[in-house]
Amino acid sequence: MKKIRFFKPKQKKLNRSMAGNTLLFVLMAICGVFMALPIVMIVNNALKPLDELFQFPPKIFVRNPTLENFSDLFVVMSDSWVPFSRYIMNTIIITGLGTVGHVLLASLAAYPLAKHNFPGKNILFSMVVLSMMFSWTVTQIPTYMIVSWLHINNNYLALILPAWQFGMGLYLMKQFMEQLPDSLMESARLDGATEFKIFWKIVMPNVKPAWLTLAIFQFQQMWANTGSMYLRDEQLKPLQFALQQIVGGGTARAGASAAVTFIIAAIPIIFFLVCQSNVIETMTTSGMKD
Amino acid sequence: MKKKKMSLTTKRSITGYVFILPWLAGFLIFYLRSLIMTANFSLSEITVAVGGGYDSKFVGLQNYLYAFRAHGSFKQVLTTSVGNMLIDVPLITFFSLLMAMLLNKKFKGRTLVRAIFFLPVIMNSAAITAAIDMSRQMLAGGLSASSAEMAGAASGVNVMYYVEMFSSLGLPSGVLDYIVAAVARINDIISASGVQIIIFIAALQSIPGSMYEVAKIEGATAYETFWKVTFPMVMPHIITNVVYTVVDNFANSEIVEMAYDTAFTEVNYGLSSAMSLVSTAIVCVILVIVCGFIQKRTFYYN
């Protein structure tokens, strides 16, 4: 640090911004601590042996960390009526297809909305915004009726198909695509690229931060879905459902449910970390001369 | 072939439709249909039929009239929800912009810190809330309760003293009320801004670096760079975030809860649909006004 400062000509200015940065980081740290509390609790609970879990008054940090809770969880898992790997596979199918499909369809639809002009565009877009206003709690019954009308009840599709059409993704992608310079697409068009090629090779790489963000949201939503409304067969239910059943076991399964809570929270966090570390600064205007 | 006769604009618009089609098909089936169904329900009296299904009887605007004239708390809850939204939205937007700018700086462990700020979104999911409640019950007032107590003790500063001091200084009471309400919900605001922070980070990352370079060469200070480069460039995403915040806030508001209860505990589906349509309409009007206001001042890169 010192070395760099030594060679910089404007030492004073640098110092001032350093002070500002420190202040802001302190502020950030305070907010961060607040937000991190629940996860600290979850991690510590997962590592606590039973007697510490029931200790009163409770302690934040674990004294004798064990993996007992996880081994308890495995025992509970191996007892289950449907093999646990089945739940895991269901989750992979539902969450994976739901996330990938949504990101793809929303981006595809957002591209012409952002960059093309055609009749009916504005009506379409206001419809999308309107649909976002409708909270799922309110449209639950109509959605259920539509799902049974399509005969996809008790099927993965009942969870996947509605998830593809969330308005938020389209909205987000459109906002980001609008910011791309038109000349970028123009030049590709002049070089004879088809619209799909422009979309896939030019637009999508340039809005990578946007679709990775969207993937994070969607993953989070799909992961939290227990599907208990549509899926009746035990073999079709996602992991989330099985895990919540274990938590519902109450005091007798306190250890296992502490481990479950850890897993439920950890997976979206890992997904988030992977996505975020892939977001690198895009160079929207590289190769542009205006 | 026909292709040659088409003008470039028609051709382009056809490509546009083709791109939208897969999304639109599902949208029409799932969302538009359920919207129409809800509107239909709001004009009828729904009773559960014997042996499954439902019977509906057209009653006109009766559900709406009931909601406004006879229902005990609809109007009151509606006003509080909208009022809360108007307080929360600007605060969340600015807080998340500030946080996004901090988190966009290069420092070690940046991704981890970002993850911490995204935690509330993950923690808000029903599963985690259920699990945390569960452990809280088991511990009979465990950590979460005790930390809430601690927070209560820490903020045990006599707030009213300051409020009175400021009001005696002649600060308009509207502003004062806003500040008090804002301070009272700091926790809510922090935990509701996870998604917005991520959107802003993505927005900040799509600002071309050359802009900052130019600003630096021209000798702009950090303050000037923010107002002349960063702010105009993230402006379109301020709209995105305002829309998201409004939607998110509305989805968790009391009025939606009330509509939900009316539907599932009182089994009055017609009234519930009417309630949700009224509140949706109000939120839409607010959104149109706010977005129109921001849109005018928005700078688009092209």
- Mean pLDDT, each 10-residue run in order, chain B (302 residues): 63 80 84 83 78 73 80 83 85 88 78 78 66 56 44 48 65 72 73 83 82 88 86 85 85 80 79 84 85 77 57
Tell me the percentage of chain B whose pLDDT exceeds 70. Answer: 78
Select from B122, B205, B268, B277 the residue whose CB has the most chain A CBs within 10 Å, as the one to mutate to test that interface. B122
pLDDT: which is higher, A10 or A271: A271
Q: Which residue of A has its CA nearest to B241?
A: A172
CB-CB contact of B188 with B88 (8 Å): yes
Do the Cβ atoms of B118 and A272 come within 8 Å? yes
State the smallest CA–CA distance between residue B108 and chain A in angstroms: 12
Q: Where does residue A288 fall: left (phi above 0), alpha (psi -120 to 50 degrees), or beta otherwise?
A: beta
CB-CB contact of A115 with A182 (8 Å): yes
Select from A137, A184, A197, A230 the residue whose CB has the most chain B CBs within 10 Å, as the one to mutate to test that interface. A137
Instruction: Verify cis geometry, omega within 30 degrees of 0, for the bond prior to A38.
Output: no
State the smallest CA–CA distance between residue B10 and chain A in angstroms: 8
Do the Cβ atoms of A175 and B132 come within 8 Å? no
Position A104 scores a pLDDT of: 92
Q: Average of pLDDT values for A110-125?
A: 84
Average pLDDT of chain B to the nearest whole number: 76
Position A285 scores a pLDDT of: 44
B171 touches chain A (CB under 8 A): no
Chain A residues with CB under 8 Å of B198 CB are 213, 216
Do the Cβ atoms of B199 and A213 come within 8 Å? yes
Do the Cβ atoms of B31 and A167 come within 8 Å? yes
Q: Average of pLDDT values for A26-42?
A: 76
Tokens of A287: 């190769």
pTM, full prediction: 0.77
Angle between helices B143-154 and A11-47 (to 10 degrees): 140
Position B164 scores a pLDDT of: 67
pLDDT: which is higher, A160 or A282: A160
- Compute the distance between CA of residue B60 and CA of residue B65 in angstroms, rounded to an integer: 10
* Residue A80 pLDDT greater than 70, yes or no: yes
Which of A52, A41, A73 is CA-nearest to residue A253? A73
Do the Cβ atoms of B38 and A164 come within 8 Å? no
Position A265 scores a pLDDT of: 83
Do the Cβ atoms of B300 and A179 come within 8 Å? yes
- Residue B77: exposure state from Cβ atoms within 10 A (0-12, 13-18, ≥19): buried
Classify B218 as helix, strand or coil: coil
- The b-or-e profile of B6-41 (16+ CB within 10 A means b, else e) is eeeeeebbebbbebbebbbebbebbbebbbebbeeb
State the smallest CA–CA distance between residue B168 and chain A in angstroms: 30
Do the Cβ atoms of A165 and B142 come within 8 Å? no
B237 touches chain A (CB under 8 A): yes
- DSSP letter string over B25-56? HHHIIIIIHHHHHHHHHHTEEEEEPTTSSEEE
Band (pLDDT 50/70/90 cuts) for residue A107 is: very high
pLDDT digits 0-9 by tens, B95-141: 888 888 888 877 777 777 778 877 777 776 665 666 566 555 555 44
Which of A129, A184, A171 is CA-nearest to residue B208? A184
Residue in A167, A171, A181 closest to B302 by CB: A181
Position A2 scores a pLDDT of: 45
The angle subtended at Cα B290 by Cα B289 and Cα B295, nearest 5°, is 100
State the smallest CA–CA distance between residue A261 and chain B in angstroms: 6
Tell me the percentage of chain A whose pLDDT exceeds 90. Answer: 4
Residue in B113, B116, B199 closest to A172 by CB: B199
Do the Cβ atoms of A142 and B12 come within 8 Å? no
Band (pLDDT 50/70/90 cuts) for residue A100 is: very high
Task: Among A104-108, A238-242, A282-286, B104-108, name the one with the lowest average pLDDT.
Answer: A282-286
DSSP 8-state class, residue B229:
I
Band (pLDDT 50/70/90 cuts) for residue A286 is: very low
pLDDT digits 0-9 by tens, A146-205: 888 888 888 888 888 888 888 888 888 888 888 788 888 888 888 888 888 888 888 888
Count A/B contacts: CB-CB distance under 8 Å.
Answer: 291
Position A101 scores a pLDDT of: 92
CB-CB contact of B301 with B233 (8 Å): yes
Select from A14, A15, A35 the residue whose CB has the most chain B CBs within 10 Å, as the one to mutate to test that interface. A35
Chain A residues with CB under 8 Å of B35 CB are 130-131, 134, 139, 142
Do the Cβ atoms of A139 and B9 come within 8 Å? no
pLDDT: which is higher, A137 or B230: B230
Chain A residues with CB under 8 Å of B120 CB are 35
Q: State the complex-level ipTM.
A: 0.72
Residue in B131, B244, B256 closest to A137 by CB: B256
Do the Cβ atoms of B29 and A150 come within 8 Å? yes
Do the Cβ atoms of B31 and A165 come within 8 Å? yes
Chain A residues with CB under 8 Å of B276 CB are 134-135, 138
Position A1 scores a pLDDT of: 43
Chain A residues with CB under 8 Å of B203 CB are 176
